[in-house]
């Protein structure tokens, strides 16, 4: 069966520090991968999606970047965090042509 792992679960970082959130998927090949952010009281906002290794598309301009160094690994990064980067970050995967996205447990990021 397929599983998705996302870590860490919670993170408190000072303004200006770097960020690296990692997401890995097991049990499937060539998944579509997503990073979403959910600000307090807001809906899920798509940040990045990837259809393959090294292929990253961004939905909104921002202080973050994403990379996909391996087929089932998706990394969300920042060189210098801003207060506005605080939020709940979710990684998700979906099979190509599938009808459902499967979500990780999320990372609660607080920038102080």
For residue 2, the Cα-to-chain-centroid distance in whole angstroms is 18
Q: How far is the CB of 87 from another protein (least distance, A)?
A: 12
Strands 107-111 and 55-58: unpaired
Q: Residues 6 or more apart from 42 whose CB is under 8 A from it?
A: none
Q: Residues 6 or more apart from 43 whose CB is under 8 A from it?
A: none
Q: Which of 20, 84, 105, 110 binds another protein (CB under 8 A)?
A: 105
Size of the site for another protein (CB under 8 A): 25
Site string for another protein, 13-42 (x = CB under 8 A): -------------------x-x-x-----x
Do residues 60 and 45 lie in contact, with contact meaning Cβ atoms separated by under 8 Å? yes
Q: How far is the CB of 69 from another protein (least distance, A)?
A: 21
Q: List interacting residues with another protein (CB under 8 A).
A: 32, 34, 36, 42-46, 49, 51, 88, 90, 92, 94, 96-101, 103-106, 108
């Amino acid at each position: 069966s397929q599983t998705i792992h996302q870590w860490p679960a919670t993170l408190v970082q000072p303004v200006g520090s770097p960020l690296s959130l990692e997401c890995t998927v097991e049990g499937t090949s060539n998944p579509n991968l997503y990073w979403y952010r959910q600000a307090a009281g807001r809906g899920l906002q798509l940040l990045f999606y990837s259809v393959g290794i090294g292929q990253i598309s961004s939905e909104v301009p921002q202080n973050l970047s994403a990379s996909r160094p391996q087929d089932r690994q998706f990394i969300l990064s920042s060189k210098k965090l801003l207060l506005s980067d605080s939020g709940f970050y979710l990684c998700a995967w979906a099979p190509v042509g599938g009808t459902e996205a499967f979500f990780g447990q999320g990372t609660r990021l607080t920038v102080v």
